[in-house]
Amino acid sequence: MVTESKRQSTVGNRVASADWRVSYARRLLVTDFLILAWVIFGVQIAWFGVDAATVAVRDAPMLALNYTAISVILLVGWMVVLGVYGTRGYRVVGTGAQEYRLIIDGAMRLFGVVAIVAFLFQVSFARGYILIALPLGLAVLIFSRWMWRQWLATRRSRGEYTSRVLLVGSRSSVAHIAHELGRQPQAGYLVVGACVPSSVSGDTVAGTDIPLFGNFDMVQQAMMAYGADTVVITSADELPPERVRQLSWGLEPGRQHLVVAPSLVDIGGPRVHTRPVAGLPLIHIETPRYEGGTRFMKRSFDVLASGLGIAVISPFLLVIAITVRLSSAGPVLFRQERIGLKGERFEMLKFRSMVIDAEQRLIDLQLEQHDRGNAVMFKMRDDPRITPVGRFLRRYSLDELPQLFNVFAGSMSLVGPRPPLPREVEQYEKHVHRRFLVKPGITGLWQVSGRSNLSWDDTVRLDLYYVENWSLTSDLVILFKTARAVLGRDGAY
């Protein structure tokens, strides 16, 4: 039976849960307003000066407005669009690209309306005023949301500003979802308890300290006891449709929420489409595509970016080459056979960062100290084979720069799975061979998610996620994160 103190604690948790959504949305509202006001009126002053110029309306001179009034209308319209498109909704803030997409979509539609009005009513806007205000306002607005996202992620890592989640399902599915949500606290789902078909008092979710409250008949009591505001159904085998419907009816409208987690993992958002059919929320998962326009765009970007990169940094490459040649005996470039697209072999280039007999000494090192947690790739801190200059090159991934020539020639891409050694491929399980559906990359998702510190399972999971969900946009994001990771504290080894 729930005590009075627990009831009071539950009420407090519900209020706090509702409050963070409201307070965070208000902060975004204030910040959006200040940013757009600064941009719009700043552009007006920069373009026209402090004097308020007027906008002429053909055939209706009496309707002429000064740009201060136009700026106010534009500011109000932009704020309304941000609200109508739900850019401050708690379901889109904090993680994923949906928040940014809504902001961009809303801004483009707003300025589309402005252009249509200007054309229909023959309003002579100053083109520079509009052409500067749109991209500048959009850029600063997105940067502001990104800054707020960093702040929110920090709060959520402390258990604040989160939805308090009760998991409902089988023991195995509850443990899986709890593990996945625990890996990404920035998503805003804090698991506080779980209900499974049969549980014993004092039980916890496997591998965690999350308590099991009871069976499915005790969901309401569990929500009250833990102050949960969100129920996540992790499996439907033990929950028939009628039971799920009754569970949803028992939730408090507006304050408590129902989420169904399908048995799908590592599926990118753009591939997922929900379509209600005959009262059934059918989830459509698009199969990955590895040909056509997207592949052509990726290859074009690789050629242009790698070609430009080689041309710009060629003097720097020459300095590194001379330093490597003078610092230790051996060739400047290290050439190694790797496995690439469709399992084909190619020669990957790197600046030599090890002594010339590094490959011969590898077997002894593997017997002495294999990297813990990675059963396939050999990674070792303080590897004695690395030269002093090579250690610096590896720290900032400068040894990888010659791979730009691999990219330009077509055997690699700027972004993709890590190109494995033939001896590593021999240890692959069957599903890991899906890595070879795309070209290997200089950098990739696992490099920016942990670099040399990930386990083999995590490395495979991230590489396969990239293969299944790759896009040009994700490539640009990974390249940006690569620069941040390279300049970070730990670097690579």
Residues 123-148 have pLDDT tens digits of 666 677 778 888 899 999 999 999 99
Tell me the mean pLDDT in the region 183-189: 84
Mean pLDDT of the chain: 80
pLDDT, residue 33, reads 95
Could you give the CA distance from residue 36 to residue 38 in angstroms, rounded to a whole number?
5
pLDDT, residue 166, reads 92
pLDDT, residue 250, reads 81
Tell me the mean pLDDT in the region 458-486: 83
Instruction: Name the 3-class secondary structure at 274.
Output: strand
Spelled out in words, what is the top-level CATH class assigned to the domain 163-263?
alpha beta
pLDDT, residue 8, reads 43
pLDDT, residue 451, reads 57
- In the chain, CATH 3.40.50.720 covers 163-263
Highest mean pLDDT among 9-18, 138-147, 368-377, 466-475: 138-147
User: Is the predicted pLDDT of residue 412 greater than 90, yes or no?
Assistant: yes
Query: Binning pLDDT at 50, 70 and 90, where does residue 121 land?
Result: low
Of the candidates 97, 151, 94, the residue with the CA atom closest to the CA atom of residue 476: 97
Q: What are phi and psi of 47, to 5 degrees?
A: -85, -40
Whole-model pTM? 0.66
pLDDT, residue 26, reads 92
Highest mean pLDDT among 188-202, 238-252, 285-299, 395-409: 395-409
Could you give the CA distance from residue 455 to residue 183 in angstroms, rounded to a whole number?
14
- pLDDT, tens digit, 9 for 90 and up, residues 262-308: 766 666 666 676 777 666 677 776 666 666 777 888 899 999 999 99
Instruction: Name the 3-class secondary structure at 160.
Output: coil
Of the candidates 348, 353, 311, 315, the residue with the CA atom closest to the CA atom of residue 332: 353
Q: Which is higher by pLDDT, 421 or 19?
A: 421
Of the candidates 1, 4, 42, 21, the residue with the CA atom closest to the CA atom of residue 257: 21
Q: Are strands 54-55 and 65-66 parallel, antiparallel or unpaired?
A: antiparallel
User: Is the predicted pLDDT of residue 9 greater than 60, yes or no?
Assistant: no
pLDDT, residue 366, reads 55
pLDDT, residue 180, reads 83
pLDDT, residue 368, reads 55
